[in-house]
Structure 1
Amino acid sequence: MFLNYLIVFLISMIPIVELRGAIPVAVGMGLDPVISYIICIIGNMLPVPIIYFFARKVLIWGKDKKYIGKFFTFCIEKGEKGGKKLQAKAGRGLFIALMLFVGIPIPGTGAWTGTLAASFLDMGFKKSVIAVMLGVLIAGVIMALASMGVFGGLSFLFAPKS
């Protein structure tokens, strides 16, 4: 049993997959939903401080390196462009925009991407972590409900009868 929770914890730390993939795995394994949710939140949030403080520096360091330079430059440009776009649309509502960006459970909008965007925007560590955490909590609830079939059940209740 411990091994299954460890697997779910590790999956929730993987970029792009994050808790969006870990929660359905936990449900599929038949693990306790509340314990799994908490473990996935912790696993998904654990890399956030490292990403905030170091990812941007690593990308800047590697942008002029022979083999990784083009990819790192692409990541920097994409991060800066995405951050400016988010800031232009959100204005003073950047906190809410970041929270919703992370909270929408689709690939590329998780804690990793949201934290990197926040670091490019110089949003501030505490504010960034809180916005990302709230977004991860929202995404976790959505994924848990979807994985347990709640949305399918609701669509059955509210679908037009023929």
Structure 2
Amino acid sequence: MMPVTELRGAIPIGIAMNLDPLGVYAASVIGSSLISIPLILTFRHILSFIRGISFLKNISKKIDNKIEASMKKLKSASVLGIILFVGIPLPTTGSWTASAIASILHMRIRDAFIGIVLGNMMAGVIVTGISMHII
């Protein structure tokens, strides 16, 4: 659940500690995915607070209008984008950043959660394979 490493750091550490790789994978995916729902809700409250600040109101309105216009075209691709964003195990492409992106893009919590879970599963398989010297 830690914002920087998430499962990308937990899986190699768990495997290095001779823990069961399947157990490490499952705990890492579950832990990294469950944090996304509170994060999405928190980021939404932060964004609404920022929209209420007078000198940021015009900027946030322009950004919201631009996002609103492009989201009509990309509604179905946004879940796939979250899956790929989280699923490629690079630094800063985990649940925390994906939750912020989902909040900014006004995604439904269910869609964002599904994308984050599938992405975490994909990243977990890749990181586990690399940690076990399979990939």
Q: 1:14 — aligned with what?
A: 2
TM-score between the two structures when normalised by the length of structure 1: 0.67
Aligned length, in residue pairs: 123
Q: Tell me the SS of whatever aligns to 1:150.
A: coil
Q: 2:82 — aligned with what?
A: 98
Render the CA deviation track for 1:44-101: whole Å, top value 9, x for unaligned.
Answer: 1121111111123235547999xxxxxxx8xxx8xx69xx5xx67x834111111000
Query: What displacement does 1:140 show?
Result: 0.3
Identity percentage over the alignment?
A: 35
**Aligned pair 1:54/2:34, yes or no?**
no
Gaps of 5+ in 2: none
**Aligned pair 1:131/2:119, yes or no?**
no
* Preserved CA contact (<8 Å) 2:43 2:99: no
Comparing 48-57 and 30-39, the one that deviates more: 48-57
Correspondence list, 1:2-151, <5 A: 13-58=1-46, 61=49, 84=67, 91=74, 92-151=76-135
Moved over 6 A (4+): 62-65
Q: Work out which structure has the larger RCO, using CA pairs closer than 8 Å and 6 or more positions apart in sequence.
A: 2
Query: What displacement does 1:109 show?
Result: 0.7
User: 1:107, 1:60 → 2: CA distance?
Assistant: 27
Root mean square deviation, CA, Å: 2.7
Query: What displacement does 1:132 show?
Result: 0.6
Gaps of 5+ in 1: 1-12, 66-72, 152-162
